[in-house]
Amino acid sequence: MIPLRDQNPVTHFPFVTVAIIALNLLAFLLWEPTFAGSSREAQARQEIFFYCHAEIPYEIIHHTSLGEGGVPAREAIAQGFHEGLDEAAGDQQVLAEDCGHKNWLFSIFTSMFLHAGWLHIGGNMLFLWVFGNNVEDKLRPLRYLLFYLASGIVATITQTAIIHTGSNAVIPNLGASGAIAGVLGAYLLMFPRRRVLTLVIFFLVTVVYIPASIVLAAWFVLQFFSGVLALSQRMNAGGGVAVWAHIGGFLFGAAMALLFFPKERFGARPPPPRPDLPGRRGWGWNRRRPPPPGLAWPPA
């Protein structure tokens, strides 16, 4: 299921959500070697870029970079890449030369703005736009920004704590999906009955409105079973997808919404579209018109 938009008007322009999307797009288009090509040299350049800027579990646990971690880091590289210590020493030297500036702590934040491909960033930004603007509308910009970053940090901690051994220890983790998962968890508790226009691909392709509780619960169940499968097979979560980061971020967002955020009652019927707001949830954010004569809001 792919969400396209929700029936959930906002009252303020989502400046933070738009800024986060813009920063992710700028990083992908202008900072990452996205257009370096598909040659072996271009792929190696992209891999080194991710090792220099993305979060790596070994570095978070040991508080040092792979390039500057000495013999223990070299052994981790050898184990992760299934190579000898001599080859690992060469790889470590490359990382030391190209990533000598790396700050392992700062990489937790930079990794939230890096993506591995067009589908990766496209899917993440679509989910953030559909659900993030409403969460920001309720929390207001500063609290929403702090919540978004905290969700990303919790997602990183969860992924690192559960998937941190063997080859997984030296695989870069990147993407905004952990932080966005926190937004999804919050949305589930804050707007469970709001309807989401969803593209459903199952034998037939159709577009239908589905309650947010079903869309987001189905997404979480898929992540959870993918994470359990990853653990049982001792492989990187979801074949390269950090699903435990998704799970950790989602649960954190749901917990924060349950304890601190304003919520609609789960059994409450979602309000009808407002007659005094034109069109969509609108680009008419603050262009409110008074209701027509004789029509009160909400309707009696």
pLDDT at 33: 92
Would you kindly state where each structural domain of the chain is located, as residue ranges? 2-63+104-259
Backbone CA torsion sign across 85, 73, 165, 235: negative
| Residues 19 and 207 sit within 8 Å (Cβ to Cβ) | no
Q: Which of 97-101, 225-229, 252-256, 266-270 has the highest mean pLDDT?
A: 252-256
Q: Is the pLDDT of residue 289 over 70?
A: no
Mean pLDDT of 246-254: 96
Written out in words, the top-level CATH class of the domain with range 2-63+104-259 is mainly alpha
**What is the distance between the alpha carbons of residues 179 and 20, in angstroms, rounded to a whole number?**
11
pLDDT at 42: 87
Average pLDDT, the chain: 85
pLDDT at 80: 86
Whether the predicted model's global pTM rises above the 0.75 cut = yes
Cα–Cα distance list, 217 to 11, 184, 189, 238 (Å): 26, 10, 11, 18
pLDDT at 243: 87
